Every structure is written in C-alpha cells, then in structure tokens.
Amino acid sequence: MNKFSNNTYLIHWFYLLLFIYTQQTFASLSQTTAKVIEGTPPHLSLPLELTIDNLNLFGLKIYNQNYYGEEVNKLPITSNYPFKNKIQIAPLKQPNEQEYLDADGDELLFLTESPQINMTWYSTDSNGKQVEFQPNDTDTFCNLGKKIFTHHSK
C-alpha cells in the first residue's frame, strides 16, 4: 500500500508541475505577443483639408461617366429632361501622392464609402439660401425653376 501511495504522490506532483509549467508558458506567450502599433495616422494633404467642403474626391456619375471637381459644372444634362434617375453618386476618387500624406511612408490602399453615401438635393431660393428638396421622377430643371419662381412671387 505504501508503494501505491508513493506512485500516486509522484503522479500528483508530476501533474502539478506540468500544470504550473504550462501556465507559465501561456503567461509568457500572452505577455510577449501583444505589441503596441506606433506611428502617425495618415491624412489628406493640407490643401485638400482646407477645401474639405468642396472635396474633389466626391463626384457624380451620368451615363456611366464619372465627373469630379470642376468637371461637375460641365455635366451633359439638359434642363428640359428629367434628371433624378440620370444623376448618381460616383465612386470615391482615390487621392494621388500629393493629396495623401503619411509620415511613416505607408501606402494608401483604397478609400471606400462606408456607410454608403446618400444624395441630398438642394435648390437656391430667391434669398440665396439653400433649400433641401426631393425631386420627382419627372422633374426637370426647367419646371423646378418655375416652381421656385411661382412659389416666391406669391
């Protein structure tokens, strides 16, 4: 019986030492695997950040052609045809090397719209203020002008 209890005693010591060793190994692994990422966050260049209200990275898509920045002023839309279903939001234009800065030298992978961008329509009233509106499928720029003119002349 004494021999049996000695073996049991040794087995318990073995499992206890094995348990302590595995816990120390786990603790040392968990301490060394977590590292803080250091660096500066990327950002747009100063000229782009100063003109963020008119950011040229946003655009419109008409007839499967994307228009950005000043190109939007030359859209191929006529004033006497419905416009609502012809004008869509273009994919974000990717900034070039002069428009994107990262002090650490990281490369910009790809800008995406997240969440998806929604289009809001605005018209200018007779006082020069922007007024939000929802165009109908049949609205043209001509009839919107007539609605605004008739509304403000009353």
Give residue 67's pLDDT. 93
Here the tokens at position 143 are: 């009839």
Give residue 77's pLDDT. 86
Q: Is it the case that residue 154 has pLDDT exceeding 90?
A: no
Residue 19 in domain: yes
Q: Is it the case that residue 80 has pLDDT exceeding 70?
A: yes
d(CA 135, CA 145): 12
Residue 50 in domain: no
Q: What is the pTM of this model?
A: 0.59
Residue 13 in domain: yes
d(CA 129, CA 123): 8
* Three-state DSSP string of 117-153: CCCCEEEECCCCCEEEECCCCCCCHHHHHHHHHHHHH
Domain tally, the chain: 1
pLDDT tens figures, 17-52: 666 655 554 444 555 555 666 777 777 777 777 777
Give alpha helix (H) positions in the chain. 2-33, 46-50, 141-153
Give residue 2's domain range: 1-35
Q: Is it the case that residue 136 has pLDDT exceeding 70?
A: yes
Give residue 122's pLDDT. 86
Half-sphere exposure of 71 (CA within 13 A, CB side): 15
* Phi, then psi, of 69 in degrees rounded to 5: 60, -130
Residue 20 in domain: yes
